[in-house]
Chains A and B, each alone.
Chain A
Amino acid sequence: MAATDIDVKYVAHLARIGLTPDEEATMSARLAGILGYIEKLKELDVTGVEPTAHAVPMVNVLRPDVVRPSLPHEAALANAPAQANGLFLVPKIVE
């Protein structure tokens, strides 16, 4: 696959980002340049190399399973763009 075939409209849909036609055109051109540059990673032989997800390898960091104070209800709702009856208000999901 050529690096430049990024289908910006489709990937923007996956990312839930609305783009204007102008933004789509600029984005395609800019991303083609960046993806072309990123291709250089293919020069390297990575056979047998383990991937690094985190620089400090730590697994299963646990804490005691006890109840702790959490954000009060009102504080959690304080920044909501729309709320009703102590809940976040969202568009209708189920008919």
Chain B
Amino acid sequence: MPNALSLNQLSISELTGRLARREISAREITQACLDQIARVDGTVHAFISHDPADALAQADAADRDLAAGVTIAQKPLLGIPIAIKDVLAVKDHPLNCGSKILGKFVSPYDATVIEKMRAAGAVIFGRLNMDEFAMGSSTETSAFGITRNPWDPARIPGGSSGGSAAAVAADEAIATLGTDTGGSIRQPAALCGCVGLKPTYGRVSRYGLTAFASSLDQIGPFTKNIADSARLLGVISGLDPRDSTSVDVPVPDYVAALDGNIRGLKLGVPKEYLIGGLDPEVKASVDAAIQQYLALGAEIVDISLPHTDYAVATYYIVATAEASANLARFDGIRYGQRVDGADPLELYTRTRGAGFGAEVKRRIILGTYVLSSGYYDAYYLRAQKVRTLIRNDFLAAFKQVDAIITPTTPTAAFKIGEKSGDPLQMYLSDIFTISCNLAGISGISLPCGFTTNPKLPIGLQLLGQPFGEATLLKLAHAYEQSTPWHREKPGTLA
């Protein structure tokens, strides 16, 4: 039976079902994504680059596996094209982190998440645009140009994983990977109307992820629905001897957790999230989602996260301090662009002055300052202590509730250029997502409605206990299946 949707518009579970029944080939799926990129990426610019021949060769290998009798149970992503944020290493593919400084860098090895997805049969393709070194909330700081929101090309897709979100929303890939340090998966997922999951810190190996803030960074999936998010998380999770911060907690069957039964689960509504800048349409959609959860049998509990108002300030100390250390490696000696100098100091200073963009320079300098002699205690150590208070807020809340429900962002997607001149306003747009990383807990954003004029997606955020992804996905799935939002597609893109 012909489907009204083309192959690139389908979900992982729909496609693997049709592949298993041999109704379609993996090559046809990859070709459908490549055709869509050719059609719309001139407008969206989700991709920095992609290699169609390499993607089709992987798809052909998946078709040979299928012909040889390999099953979806053995390889749960067999033949599924998945595109990758430009911060994750894919062997023999370019890696630029959205920056000029890496020059013509080509990854000499696969990140652990890439190895795992290859083993699961995925077609790994493309380099997705992002804010330079993941520092931004709009994908406007990329050295490779801006990405546009598929729902309104005059607006930002969010960031830093803006390319990852836009590619899924525009049906240029079936799923993508991104990274989340302060909301960089959940915020663009909300603004582009797809599902974005930030796993618990330590759930997914960071080996092969170019570090921004090592104590906050996590890799996670962007998908068209919750079942796909559960499937992809199951593939990429687990202990990795190459990342000493990955945690030895068993990986449950996340797909099996999606049983629709959320009766009696308790959802906390934090009073601190009713801030002044919250858009009335966003608030109305989240309030309606809370009512929907009540109708589905969940209990709603008022809670308090008293240190919420300090999260953005804490984040911009901790994250910049860690970034200033991590980005010291970009010195023009072993890889990337080099601007020569008379001595090593001059070489470093010129290379970094020419290679980094304004936002990255600003954050490295801020991070260097808060760690410098005389300021360490006043800024960095104090921020680490406030981080403890923020984490304790969440751990106390999770004694009362199974998950926390909030808007993902205070507003829908803003216009290109609207906040790029004011870094502090840009930082404050991350108010609802940032605490999750400081606390090291899990979080997900899923569609919960649209603004009316213009029509832009609104995201619902659920925050879960450390390693509570199964409960989070179960809750998200029950809501998704009882609402129409995830089936909506952006209008025709020029």
Contacts and interface: CB of A to CB of B under 8 A. Distances in A.
A75 B338 CA distance: 19
Interface in B340-391: 340-350, 352-354, 356, 358, 361-362, 364-366, 368-369, 372, 374, 378-379, 381-389, 391
Interface string A78-94: 11111000001011110
B414 interface: no
Nearest to B309: A40
B333 A88 contact: yes
B349 A17 contact: yes
A10 B195 CA distance: 44
Interface string B86-113: 0000000000000000011110110000
Interface in A30-66: 30-31, 33-35, 37-38, 40-42, 44, 46, 49-56, 58, 61, 63
Contacts of A25: none
Contact of B334 (A44, A58, A80): A80
Given A38-B379, A56-B247, A81-B338, A44 B386 contact: yes
Contacts of B331: 16
Contact of A49 (B201, B338, B385, B424): B385
Contact of A18 (B316, B349, B438, B466): B349
A80 B369 CA distance: 30
B414 to A, nearest CB: 19
B324 interface: yes
A38 B333 CA distance: 35
B105 A79 contact: yes
A60 to B, nearest CB: 9
Nearest to B379: A38
A28 to B, nearest CB: 10
A21 to B, nearest CB: 12
A52 to B, nearest CB: 4
A17 B245 contact: no
A90 B347 CA distance: 9
Residue in B328, B352, B369, B384 with the greatest tally of chain A CB atoms within 10 Å: B369
A35 to B, nearest CB: 8
Contact of A93 (B307, B344, B378): B344
A34 B423 contact: yes
B273 interface: no
Contacts of A50: 385, 388
A11 B317 contact: no
Interface of A: 1, 6, 8, 11-20, 23, 26-27, 30-31, 33-35, 37-38, 40-42, 44, 46, 49-56, 58, 61, 63, 71, 75-76, 78-82, 88, 90-93
Given A1-B378, A46-B382, 9 more contacts: A12-B365, A37-B312, A37-B313, A42-B382, A44-B307, A53-B215, A58-B202, A81-B338, A91-B346
